[in-house]
Amino acid sequence: MKCPGQSLNTRKPEDYVSYQDCKKCGTEVEFFYDDLKRKCHNCGEVVEKDYDKLMKDYGCAQWCDYAESCLGKKTYQKFKETKERASLLEKLIQSIPEEDDEAREFIEEAVKSTKTDELIDTENIIKPLKEKNKELYERVRKYYANFEY
């Protein structure tokens, strides 16, 4: 039996395709409902489907006992990693005082730009901030260093 949640018969035409911009060059990248990532046709950057779109397309994987066998081990693992990363980001953002919007926004963008297994690529994203905005750098570094996964 095929999962009814993944059946094309239950999807509306607008559910088949979604779009998001390439983070490197800004070109619109087309995603089909079952894609996790696509290569930008303009610059070749691999663009991963954002969390909201992933949850819309694979949200059933949160509760379904057959999610791994239905989606496949690789897709299911990617779904779980993306969900865990989003959860960690939310916890990190909540640990920053509400009045420090600048640090919260920087952290959100830093997580989106990170292409490593770390929550934030400190070497390429946080350290360069020291030159541009030392005060923000100190706050962000402190929040991230004190954050417990």
pLDDT, one tens digit per residue, over 56-97 is 777 788 888 888 888 888 888 888 888 888 888 889 989 999
Read out DSSP for the chain?
---TTT-GGGS-HHHHEEEEE-TTT--EEEEETT-SEEE-TTT--EEEPPHHHHHHHHGGGGT-TTHHHHH-HHHHHHHHHHHHHHHHHHHHHHHS-TT-HHHHHHHHHHHHH--SSSSS-IIIIITTHHHH-HHHHHHHHHHHHH---
Tell me what the mean pLDDT of segment 131-148 comes to: 91
Between residues 10 and 105, the one the model is more confident about: 105
Could you give the CA distance from residue 23 to residue 101 in angstroms, rounded to a whole number?
22
pLDDT of residue 115: 66
Mean pLDDT value across residues 42-53: 87
The answer to whether 32 touches 58, Cβ cutoff 8 Å, is no
First to last CA, the chain: 39
Query: How far is the C-alpha of 37 from the C-alpha of 31, rounded, in Å?
Result: 8
